Amino acid sequence: MAGNTKIEWATHTFNPWLGCTNVSPACDNCYAEDMMDKRYGRVKWGAGQPRVRTAPGTWLQPIRWNRDAELAGRTDITVFCLSLGDIWDNEVPQQWRQDLFALIRKTPHLTWLLLSKRIGNAINMVDGRLPGNCALGATMANQQEWDRDASKLAKAGKVLGAKFTFASVEPMLGPISTWLNTPNWIIVGGESGAHAREMNPDWARSVREQCRTNGARFFFKQMTRKAPIPDDLLIRERPF
């Protein structure tokens, strides 16, 4: 089944709304802000700026993906939600999240990857538990963010009943010890774009070895500026 995303670790990308506020060093060269705000003018980035809900036709896409997955008998189709905003953004109307969860429940043949830089908000923004086909993820680009958020991710995964938990260490901005609160899946990657910050491949190798010891799955996405990937880092494991 062909996907609609260039993101290597997902089959599809779905954006129920647009807009965000930069809250992490990982946001410094935000491609979503550059594209949706500065280039296309679809939405203004930043605190206090209204988020923009996407068109009804966009919301129908996962229904088609779910139908196709069911007809093909596929159980490995994933949806990254969302790349042009943040699901746990407190400036997004709660009703939009409720509408998203309703859509997720209607698409049981898809696994939804809910990735956020605001994982600390997750528990308070879900009424009860997540739909059973949701995985919960947090972006943690350096050791400080890992130390702050990995435990929050672990707790939210348990409280909300996530299918599995995952971390996006992208862009990787320094060496990271993942020994405490290791999620089920860790994605690592260097930054791309004109202002990309350098990633030492040994940082990624260290996380790879930690994953092997802790029983987590490891996925290496890309080197800085999409340079050739060393042979020993050509690892793209998936959580199921």
Report all structural domains of the chain as residue ranges with CATH numbers, in order of start: 12-233 (3.20.20.70)
CA of residue 67 relative to chain centroid, distance? 23
In the chain, count of helices (H) and strands (E)?
5, 9
- The arithmetic mean of pLDDT across residues 127-144, rounded, is 98
Is the C-alpha dihedral spanning 226, 222, 203, 230 positive or negative? negative
- What residue type is assigned to position 192 of the chain? S
List, for residues 55-68, the tens digit of each pLDDT value. Answer: 999 999 999 999 99
Helix %, strand %, coil % for the chain, to 5?
35, 15, 50
- The arithmetic mean of pLDDT across residues 115-136, rounded, is 98
pLDDT of 221 over the 60 cut:
yes
Three-class DSSP category at 18: strand
Q: What is the pTM of this model?
A: 0.96
List, for residues 153-187, the tens digit of each pLDDT value. Answer: 999 999 999 999 999 999 999 999 999 899 999 99
The per-residue pLDDT for 1 is: 54
Token pair recorded at residue 196: 């990309």
CA distance 109 to 61: 13
> Beta partners for 178?
none
| % pLDDT > 70, the chain | 99
- The arithmetic mean of pLDDT across residues 210-224, rounded, is 97
The per-residue pLDDT for 180 is: 87
> Beta partners for 140?
none
- The arithmetic mean of pLDDT across residues 125-152, rounded, is 98
* Mean pLDDT taken over the chain: 96
| pLDDT classification of 52: cutoffs 50, 70, 90 | very high
CA distance 76 to 86: 23
The candidate with the shortest Cα–Cα distance to 233, out of 192, 186, 197, 195, is 186
Three-class DSSP category at 120: helix
The per-residue pLDDT for 3 is: 67
Token pair recorded at residue 240: 């199921």
> Beta partners for 236?
219
| % pLDDT > 90, the chain | 96
